[in-house]
Amino acid sequence: MSHVLGPIHHWLYGKIGKQEELTDRIAVFAENSGWISDSKAYVKKLQPLEEVIDEGNIHGWLQECISDAETRYADLITAILEQDNSRIKVLIKLAHDFGVDNALPAETTSEEAYKSFEDFFVNGMPCDRINTLISNDENSVSWQQTRDIHAQYWKDAAPYYILRNSVIDGMLQCTKLHLTVGENAYTISK
């Protein structure tokens, strides 16, 4: 491993990788369904971080990687829904199935689930501090999203959150936990 790259860079790149996996799954399904003509326009296979990162501009390179992944995902979902908004139902199922494929173990606590979501979803750069923990006890974890970092990539970010929440529901499927969503506030509880 490079002497410049640290665990936080690999952690963030792994989160981008999960975003890319979801984009790929939806793009391939959309192409096979005749909703888009070429899934490759939206998909990017990530190479090992050490082989592709600009070590002279790690922060800028990772930020560009996030922007690229978020833009392609938003463009894909927008293209699909602009043709037929009712397709959101199919996308919700695809997102849920992706969550199930990344399901948390049955014994996962709310605190562990929160950490898993922080390790899974791209929410900008770590220095953006998008999620702020509000409360954490043995039965639940609550956090607030300090700002909508995803909206800049969307004409309307609502589908992003609908699909993300569906992924979360899939991830929680094997647990006794559930997600409650308020206005920019979230709670995982038993």
Report which secondary-structure segment, H or E, holds 145: strand 140-145
What is the rounded distance in angstroms from the CA atom of residue 74 to the CA atom of residue 50?
A: 27
Quote the percentage of the chain above a pLDDT of 70: 98
pLDDT in tens, 156-183: 999 999 999 999 999 999 999 999 999 8
User: Is 94 within 8 Å of 29 (Cβ atoms)?
Assistant: yes
- Is a pLDDT exceeding 90 seen at residue 138? no
Alpha carbons 30 and 35: distance in angstroms, whole number: 5
Burial of 107 (C-beta count, 10 Å sphere; 0-12/13-18/19+)? exposed
* Closest listed residue to residue 145, CA positions, set 105, 96, 181: 181
Reported as type and span, the H/E element at residue 176 is none
| Predicted pLDDT of residue 3 | 56
Mean pLDDT within 17-24: 98
Among residues 163, 181, 165, 17, which one has the least CA distance to residue 76? Answer: 163
Categorize the per-residue pLDDT at 10 as very low, low, confident or very high, splitting at 50, 70 and 90: very high
Mean of pLDDT over the chain: 95
Q: Indicate whether 1 pLDDT > 70.
A: no
Helix then strand count (H, E) for the chain reads 6, 4
pLDDT (tens digit per residue) in 46-86: 999 999 999 999 999 999 999 999 999 999 999 999 999 99
